[in-house]
Each structure stands twice: as structure tokens, then as C-alpha cells.
Structure 1
């Protein structure tokens, strides 16, 4: 089953320096029926103005992945990591027992757009950890690139949860397919473009919840950029909330 979440029903917050599209309850936006999807707790599509950003703040017991869409993201944390990442780069932070960090757009003229993804860890009170991988645009063209996996997986970035993240740049009229195992589900985000997913049309900023499907077909009606999180479909709220 494919359930489309139209961009027009999503909560968008604007703070002048920041515009955020919230896929799930976050900050001032609360909907008791839209807290999470499986182990996926937060997905924010953030646009950050030049010379601004998120000042130092704290996190605990969360696997946090950032995927840079355009511009540059500069990260600095209490583990003494400092790094600047650009388009298609992936950043990972396991907050564990507690960590502080800042995320800035240090550019003097360019806007930063990135997806901020929070996933519940498989256990609490882990030792904080940080990592990243600098993918290039060519790595994503007309293929589904596996960018994040569990610790037992094969992706370059690994997290403490049974969840995988994939991204793709699909050129107009190109097609791809993806096979799911039983009892797995997907949350997909359209970053750019227009695409058919099993004949359902989705466009920029839309999302799709995918359950009880074994095969997905993708066809780009225009150059399309998308990302999806694949995870187990049976998650007990008792384990996470």
C-alpha cells in the first residue's frame, strides 16, 4: 500500500533565517497521530539562510543523520569533531548518553538545504559517536545508492538500528526498481522533480508511506531526486516511547 502525504498538508515553520518542513511532530508542531513511522522519529527538510544556523544544543538517545541537498553544512560538537559537508554528503551522530553540537551555514551568499533525520536507537545510553561520508553526485545518478545501514550492513555510514537509507538522482524517463523483504516498510521523500512510484505520481516535497509491498517501480517524469528510509514494519511503541 502506498499512502501519499501531500506537501500542502505538511507543517511548514518559518523563522526568517530558517524554513523547516516537518514530516512528523516536532518543535511547535504537534499531532498525536503523526509522531513517528516505525523507528523514524523526525524528518525535517530544512533551508538555512547564509551566515546563520543552529547554535549549540544537546541531544540524547537518538541516531541522527543529515543528508545535504545543496549548500554547505558545518558541524561542530562536544566530541571535538568539526567538519563542513556539501551536496550529497552524509553526516551521522549517535547522541547516546548525551552530546552537544551546532550546525551552521557559514556561506556568505548560498542557502543550505538538508534533510535532518532522527531514528530511535536499538538501545539507550550508547557511547556518543560521529561519522560522515562524502559521496559525489555521480554516485546517485540512475541508481539507488545505499548510504546508511545497520552496524551489520554494508553502507559507508552505519547506525545503531535495523534501518537503511537510500538516495537517488533519476534522470527524466529513466526507471528503477527496488525489492522489499516481507514485514519491511519505507518512508520516501521527494527532494526534487516529479516521479511515478508504482503509477502514483509524486512531486517535490511530497512523501509516501509504503507498507505491504514487495516491489517498487520508479519512473522519472522529470529529473528527480529522492531519498527513502527502509525499516521493519512491526515496531512496538513500548520499546521506544
Structure 2
């Protein structure tokens, strides 16, 4: 049973983007379940909100540096069965409805104990040294590879993936791992900026060799920052 989820919070535009993206996912007829999470879901989760509300409300960037992302993925995985497929998309993304056959192909291709993701820039330029040391990923095979994006990912549901997401979330609960506070240890000279939840996601996933290096999600998913209800690519998408 494939499931697609996204999340939006902070203002009306993000909520409209959630509606747009969930409508696009439904129009593909590829998913048995499509969920658009919002900050209301987090506020109603007493344990999560009591633990993280101060951090979230005092750090508007990413609604708390995206600490909610591994959490909602974790909570969704808890409701899913081994062998299911979970597609997570940031709400700024768009689904190419006319290319849904490619999405179906990716759903069929994702293998046990793996994640289909997409590549971005070089790891050592976009991770604070404290996190690199904490995860023990100082080898060039990690640091000179391209970082995986945390905003567009397809998961094969199994215990190994659940354990990975649980650890991703736990690491994010140590706010220094995801916020922009300076590294205590000296960064690489080429360091540009820490990539928050994505830094943890990418380095941890590589540590456990979870990423499918043969496939990616570009071509069927547009990685925009379209935080509106109006599609840039599909004329018949929701335009609230």
C-alpha cells in the first residue's frame, strides 16, 4: 500500500501548498493513502509539542529547523506494514501528473532496506564538523560525495528503515545537530552552511548504506519551493 505524505505550517500559503500537493498525489491514483500534515497535528501531539514547542516557536526557519520531518515520517511508518512504500515530499514540491508512470516505476523499484533519494551538493561543504565527528563519517567516501536531499524521498517500509528514521529523529532532538549554532570543532575550510535535518539524514543514511545510488526521483517530482496553492506545471492541479 503506497502512502504519500507532506507537511505545511507557519502561514496560509504553506497550507495551500499542502492542499495542492496532496491533490496532485491523489490525481495519480498511485497511493492508497495521502496525508497532508500541518502544525495542528503537532500541537495536538502532547508529548511532541511539550518537548519541542519552545524550540520550534523560537526558530521559525524550517518551523524549528525541520525537526518535525523525521517525526511525522516516524509516526507514519508506525502505522504501515513491512513491504509498504512511503513517499515523503516537502510541500513546495510538485508531482508531474502526466509522468505518473515514472513514479509507479520508482515505487516498483525501491528495494528492501533502501531509500530512493536525490543528490545535491558536496557533503563537506554543507555539514558542521561536530555532526561529522558525532556520526563517525570522516572518510572521503562520505565527505566528497553529494549530499542527499531530505525533502524528496521514497522509503521501503521495514524494520531497518524504521530504525533509521527513529535514530534520525533522536539525533534531531539534540538541537545542536540541526540548528545553525557554530561547530565547536573546526569546520572544513570549504564549509558554507549546515543543512540542518538534511545533514543528519544524508550522513546517517550513508553510514548505514541505505541509499539507492542507481535511481532518483527527478523527472517525476519537481523540487520547487512553490509554497502556494497554484501549480507551476499542471494546469488541472488545485488552485485555491
TM over 0.5: no
Normalised by the length of structure 1, the TM-score is: 0.30
Normalised by the length of structure 2, the TM-score is: 0.30
Q: Pick the structure with more strand per residue.
A: 1
